Structure 1
Amino acid sequence: MGAAMASHLLSAGYSLIIYARSPSKASSLLSQGAHLAHSPHQLARQSDVVFTMVGNPQDVNQIVLQPNGILSTLNPGAVIVDHTSSSPSLARQIYASAREKGWIGIGVMGAAMASHLLSAGYSLIIYARSPSKASSLLSQGAHLAHSPHQLARQSDVVFTMVGNPQDVNQIVLQPNGILSTLNPGAVIVDHTSSSPSLARQIYASAREKGCWSVDAPVSGGDIGAREGKLAIFAGGERPVVEWLTPLLDLMGRVTYMGEAGCGQSCKIGNQIMVGANLIGLSEGFVFAEKAGLELSKYMEAIRGGGAGSMAMELFGRRMIERDFKPGAFVEYLVKDLGMGVDVVKEEEDERVLVLPGAALCKQLFSSMVANGDGKLGIQGLITVVERINGK
């Protein structure tokens, strides 16, 4: 089939470069004037349209999506036309992969998350207010944009992972932000822990431009980001989230939570529980040490029982070893807890009445910020409990 179809292009006078795993099969097309490439990515580098007609979906995946496949060297604006009888899901994955992805925010979490897209072979353009932080991603093949609106113009999906809702508003909604140049049909995926109301505002603004948005905050800290094991809470249109799933799966496990804003509501609830767990972990360690227990042995003894938790697995050893390097900054957790505590004042959710535990969590973590430790990791909460107890 493929040889006969290709011969019509040659007969019509088109210049054609071909690739065949068995070059001996190419003799007829070569006699018509075709040129032989040594690999799919060499062929892609020289073509504005690449036609594929191979055996099965596995062959398509290998030739198009794998590290040495067509997409690794396809030029911007070029087109892949797959004539293979393949699967709809693979066709959607190829479509999603063929366009450049944009990433804004390359801090501790963002850089690790973005690196998974590059490792999977996606073309990525990044923006950073401090370009010096981009060196690692640039060494993996990312391209640097000079502004958010330049990045948006070149991307079909734009991921954001910035500090707070004010940053999100500035980068997305302001005159020189993402939405000013985002192409119709493109998607904004905001991984920032932000507010449900802002997520809904972005969604409404995106739809007015014929675009889409998904709020997709994450949990799992720097370890989860590096290992691609984050919990991702997605809010928006279900079909859009499903279309994004091949990308999000590279970073962790995505759960669809509902309409726009629901991802952010889930993250606020998550942070309230994380904060409460860290208070218990900190107070348990301080009590055990005061009681004369060896902390490593204490943690091993209780981790398999009812006190065991993800918070203990992520932060217990760091607390014991006094490792307060940030995977998640204290000041950001204070911001997240504040959104939970203040939600009643903002009338965002009339079902939430009183959250005394969240208020206490915010107070204790705010003490870290007041002590000048806002840039430490959230496991540093133990220092507040120690200070209260005279250590």
Structure 2
Amino acid sequence: METPYPIPITPSHTRIGWIGIGIMGSAMAARILDAGYSVVVYARNPSKAQALLAQGAHLASSPQELAERSDVVFSIVGNSQDVRSLVLGPAGVLSGLKPGGVAVDMTSSHPALAREIFTAARAKECWSVDAPVSGADVGAREGRLAIFAGGDGGVVAWLMPLFKIMGKVTHMGDSGCGQSCKIANQITGGANLVGLSEGLVFAERAGLNLGQFLEAIKDGAGGSRVMELFGKKMIEDDFRPTGFVEYIVKDLGMGLDVVEENEEDDRGRVVVLPGAALNKQLFSGMLANGDGKLGIHGVITVIKRLNGKS
């Protein structure tokens, strides 16, 4: 097919490829399988794919082979370098995807890379969409992710049956805009986490009951989705990851890199993000403390250390 538009997506004839079966990706792929789609997966460590294979998925030996067997390929991996290798590499997705096929990258990656992939896909008469997500592991399991899509609006609309299985998608604009939205989301969410951490540390020092504190503020200006997801866990020192802290350090770093790369506009203005810079340092404190594999809400441990508490 020349474009994805003429043939609607249905479980009976749309083949799905999936790359990335970590905390988020495995749950998202499982939902696609539950919806009746044929799914082929690629994993650098095939043993991690056993649960999906038991659910009916098939295994590919390379991203290229996976793409050859797929109409739509999703990827959600660690970082921009992984995306570049898996999608643009010599045995990558675009080397195997047939004309009209679509590569959907759901990794939190660099906007410039998303635009590069889009250009490379169009040169092969394929399409690409950048569609990073937010909502943690519970959102992935329950199909309640926020999905930020960049790319051709018609292709995003065509993909809607698949996106609806995973959550709610918003088309943010051209290629790269989905990734820019995710970075802005991380800047916002990171600030909320740091604020919640400081609020909890202050409340504890003031002698407040922390559970009562969260209940008291949840419907006020201090309440947030971040508090709903992580507040109780932070009180209980439950820092099991729903997403690794090393990823938010990466995302905040990409945001600061984009700001540094951007030139002044015609009025001499540049973007300055002092809060994001400070918060990146605080989250990086977790890495320095050897806590890079903890959840992002573990940033409260850094605030506690700064206050003399282990």
Give the shorter-chain TM-score range: over 0.9
SS in 1 for 2:197: helix
In 2, are the aligned partners of 1:187 and 1:214 still within 8 Å (CA)? Answer: yes
In structure 2, the partner of 1:313 is 228
In structure 2, the partner of 1:238 is 153
In structure 1, the partner of 2:167 is 252
Whether 2:45 is the aligned partner of 1:130: answer yes
Whether 2:101 is the aligned partner of 1:183: answer no
Q: Structure 1: how far apart are the matches of 2:81 and 2:93? A: 14
Q: Structure 2: how far apart are the matches of 1:152 and 1:284? A: 48
Task: Describe the superposition over 1:29-85 as per-residue Cα deviations: whole angstroms up to 9, x where unpaired.
Answer: xxxxxxxxxxxxxxxxxxxxxxxxxxxxxxxxxxxxxxxxxxxxxxxxxxxxxxxxx
Match for 1:381 among 271, 276, 299?
299
Which shows bigger deviation, 342-351 or 314-323? 342-351
Q: Structure 2: how far apart are the matches of 1:348 and 1:156? A: 39
Amino acid across the alignment from 1:337: L
Return 5+ residue gaps in structure 2 as ranges. Answer: none
Q: Structure 1: how far apart are the matches of 2:59 and 2:263? A: 38
In 2, are the aligned partners of 1:325 and 1:376 still within 8 Å (CA)? Answer: yes
Q: Structure 1: how far apart are the matches of 2:97 and 2:264? A: 31
Q: Structure 2: how far apart are the matches of 1:314 and 1:237? A: 33
Match for 1:322 among 217, 234, 237?
237
In 1, are the aligned partners of 2:262 and 2:270 still within 8 Å (CA)? Answer: no
Over aligned residues, Cα RMSD in angstroms? 1.6
In structure 1, the partner of 2:62 is 147
In 2, are the aligned partners of 1:197 and 1:348 still within 8 Å (CA)? Answer: no
How many residue pairs align between the two structures?
302
Q: Structure 1: how far apart are the matches of 2:134 and 2:279? A: 18
Q: CA deviation at 1:349?
A: 8.6
In 1, are the aligned partners of 2:76 and 2:106 still within 8 Å (CA)? Answer: yes
Match for 1:276 among 191, 200, 219?
191
SS in 2 for 1:260: coil
In structure 2, the partner of 1:367 is 285
In structure 2, the partner of 1:169 is 84
SS in 2 for 1:250: helix
In structure 2, the partner of 1:354 is 272
Return 5+ residue gaps in structure 1 as ranges. Answer: 1-88
Q: CA deviation at 1:93?
A: 3.2
Task: Describe the superposition over 1:312-361 as per-residue Cα deviations: whole angstroms up to 9, x where unpaired.
Answer: 01111110111111111100000000011111222289565210010011
Q: Structure 2: how far apart are the matches of 1:106 and 1:382? A: 28
State which structure, 1 or 2, has the greater radius of gyration over its C-alpha atoms: 1
Q: Residues 340, 187 of structure 1: CA spacing in aligned structure 2 closer, same or farther, 3 A cutoff?
A: same
Whether 2:181 is the aligned partner of 1:266: answer yes
What pairs with 1:91-102 in structure 2 (closer than 5 Å)? 92-94=8-10, 97-102=12-17
SS in 2 for 1:267: helix
Q: What TM-score does the superposition give when structure 1 sets the normalisation length?
A: 0.75
Higher relative contact order (CA 8 A, sep 6+): 2
In structure 2, the partner of 1:214 is 129
SS in 2 for 1:334: helix
Give the share of equivalent positions with the same residue, in percent: 66
In 2, are the aligned partners of 1:238 and 1:256 still within 8 Å (CA)? Answer: yes
Q: What TM-score does the superposition give when structure 2 sets the normalisation length?
A: 0.95
